[in-house]
Structure 1
Amino acid sequence: MRFQFKTSYNQDIRLFKDKVDASWYGLLAVAVLIVPALMSDYYVGEATWVFIYAIGGISLMALVGYTGLVSLGHAAFLGIGAYGHAYFLQHGVPWVVSVTLAVAITTASGIVVGLPALRMTGIYLTIATLAFGVIIQEVFSRWESVTHGFAGMPVEKPTIFGVPFHDEWSFYYLCLFFLVLVLWMTRNLLRSPTGRAWIAIRDSEIAAQSMGVNLAIYKSIAFAYSAGLMGLAGALFAHKIAYLAPDIFTILLSIQFLLLVIVGGLGSLHGAVFGAIFVALLPPLIAILRDSIPASMNDAAAAMNIKLLAIIGEGIGNFLKKPGVEAGIFGLILVLVILLEPLGMYGRWVKIRVFFSTFPMYRGATFKRQKSYMRSERLR
């Protein structure tokens, strides 16, 4: 069992709790750097998707998890960043300048959405962001001179300062660099007065306002920062998908990002990364099971001479091939997480870590939610 004794205020605001914590992150960094050498190009590409989704998850986490503002329009910000970056590249703008302009345009869009939404909270704000997402999707479809409409827009592989990032390995490290940069920026921002103001707004807007927090300014900053990060994710997303079309950036993609932060764990940067691993790797896992389950069941049926196993395996394979199954599995997992583990994947990891760090003195009621009472209820 290891106890941490705090002797200064700086221990509360530094990046790592102690040297042990920093050493674990160092080992993680080494593992992430050498992983591509141990995997095929296919799995390197899937890991790249995790990084891109993680950047988008951090974007939405800053808004939903730390500021308490729910958005269903972040697929629109992703599309603005992707289309803006692709448009600038087609007109000969250098890659770094193109990404900067795409992030700037997306940030401005976030401010435009955030300002009218300052007077709305809860479900009304969610509906407003949903309407924004629908409007932007129509813009992608109709503004053919920029987006090429449903004909689509091809996106070339990135070339930065004359260095090509055309293979899976190089693009993997490019996305990893931006993920680390975004994590570092967001972590430092959350330790600043701005981040603390966001958390105060999330917990209680009235209490935050009584402490001098300007709700309009900090909500606008949250929307702008969240949209800017999603614009960066959109630029990388455009290169990864290689061909943009309006039907990619639908409400389902926004729900997928919201699922990411909820399943990963609200109010945690670790949760954004855990959720990205889940959201990015579940579709290929379903595809693998779709082919492997019938084959393995057929082999078992042949070995055991039981035809029923082959019939069951074929039925499972046909079920997984039906359209909409993936969305249904996402929804089922979301319901189960909300019911069984409201703190998400990171919350479960914290419980496991606390169990082993305090064993054998761990108490089952450590994370049990206590019932809260109003003052009038305490008098009964």
Structure 2
Amino acid sequence: MLPLVIATAALKSALFPVVHHLGSNDAVAWKGGSFSKVYFANVAGCTLGPLIVTLWLMDVMAMEQLFVGVATVTAVAGMWLAGLRLLAVPAVVVAIAALVLQPALPALASRIVMATGGAQADWLLERKEGIIHTIADPQGDIVFGGNVYDGRINVDLRSNSNKIDRVYAAMAAVPNPKRVLVIGLSGGSWTRVIASFPTVECVDVVEINPGYLELIAGHPQVAPILHDPRVHIHIDDGRRWLRAQEGARYDSIVVNSTFYWRSGTTMLLSQEFFRLVGAHLSDSGVALVNATGSPEVLKTAASEFPQAYLFGNSVIMSRRDFRDTLRAGGEAIYATRMYGRPVFDPANTSDAAAVGKVTSADLVGVDVVEERAGRPVEVNTDLRMLTEYKYGASSR
């Protein structure tokens, strides 16, 4: 990889003087004018590139289509200037055909299959925010964001294939939750479960990648959230959006963050972020953060919330002792409804067992987690970024 980086950097660095040489007039009297034209073209390209490509084309075209387009424009311009104008027309025709046919080509999909264990990608979307794809699975389609596992399309607590019990716990631990905030929409399973609680009046969802809306629209299990008048989806950065909503308070806040070791995840797992979450939580509210097993996340949450416990691989936290409410939360879970009918039947053995596992699940404190880790567990901050570096992927 390094030789390729060096080679491309060398070619780019050589490009500007070559352009100057080709675009300048040898006559001394015209040197200034010819130089200025080259510089003007360079500045115009640097300005129009971000405006046209980044702000528009990258929203409507895949990256490979853009590469074909850039190559075509470059080739046609070169032919035109070289006097090969008869070749420019067929070049444009070939390029248009390539742009139209490119989405059907397997190149990008095959690379993603290689990166995710050889399974065939069932659905794929590539935009400037990144690549989202799914792999079909009987337990719920598996969602990948940037080639990293990002959950499943599943709302069934009985199978619990995506650990959806965490969301039921976060809701059952709050008496009559009305306002809920979700940071991280992903495949929509968490939001679909939250909307099934009859006491919920408003669900604000913040998602940075609009591509997930297209994913959700194609899955009947979760698609209803796109038309639920209580659900308000905001395409924005979660932390920035929270800072802008100073007066907003929520009974439950769930943060569907990605793996703790990924780049930038500290923004959703730091002490500063948890302090921001606390400022938007009601007095009796509960927050849930997908810690993906990091002991530092629990320690950090405990530095801001007097009640913080590990539930599965996530952290559930509050300013009040919510444990009794959760233990008695079976009634709230039995009250959930989807498609106009109850989700669970108390008389059904499998339903009762699934609900019982949520309300009686172990809540593990910091001391136990620290003992399991076999080392002092530390508080993560914006500046320390422990989950990404000191205790990141390389330390596992």
| TM norm structure 2 | 0.22
Instruction: Pick the structure with greater CA Rg.
Output: 2
* Higher RCO (CA 8 Å, separation ≥ 6 residues): 1
Higher helix share: 1
